[in-house]
A = this chain, B = another copy of it.
Amino acid sequence: MIGGRRSAAIEAIRAAGGRVTAPRQAVLDAVLDADEHHFTASDIVAAIHHTKQPTDRATVYRTLELLTEIGLLDQLQLDSGAAVYHRADHPHGHLLCNECGSVEELPSEVLEDVVGRIASHAGFVVDTARVALSGACRACAAKAAVG
């Protein structure tokens, strides 16, 4: 591929007037290597901890903030706990089940539909990258209806 995600990200950091340092590359690699679509600052700290470039919590927080500012990551609050990040190249809404704690993705077509309706009926432009809704997933809703 011509210029992968990694080099594109490094370009973006430079374009924003930022310096490309070893700690930043370590965070970036951890973010790109993440199997999960969602990860917290602690996840990144842990992932880097045993590598050749262990990085301080504060630096990880500052780097994630930077990556969010330049549009590579989206940050959102799934609950009262730690902030959760996900790559901006995989936009989607989040559905959090209060019963089983699962986090499923809201299909982008439904998300677009819903956001469009709110825009036209309430004049509010919802940021699709930060949609998180609580409730009951299909399985738990069925369980509740029966039980």
Contacts and interface: CB of A to CB of B under 8 A. Distances in A.
Interface of A: 77, 79-80, 83, 95, 97-98, 104, 106-107, 109-110, 113-114, 117-118, 121-127, 130-131, 133-138, 141
A127 B135 contact: yes
B134 A127 contact: yes
Contacts of A133: 118, 124, 126-127, 130-131
Contact of A110 (B77, B118, B135): B118
A125 B136 contact: yes
B124 A117 contact: no
This protein's copies in its complex: 2
Contact of A141 (B110, B125, B137, B141): B125
Contacts of A98: 127
A83 B80 CA distance: 7
B137 A124 contact: yes
Nearest to A142: B123
A137 B118 CA distance: 11
Nearest to A130: B134
A63 to B, nearest CB: 18
For A83, A122, A126, the residue with the greatest tally of chain B CB atoms inside 10 Å of its CB is: A122
A126 B94 CA distance: 11
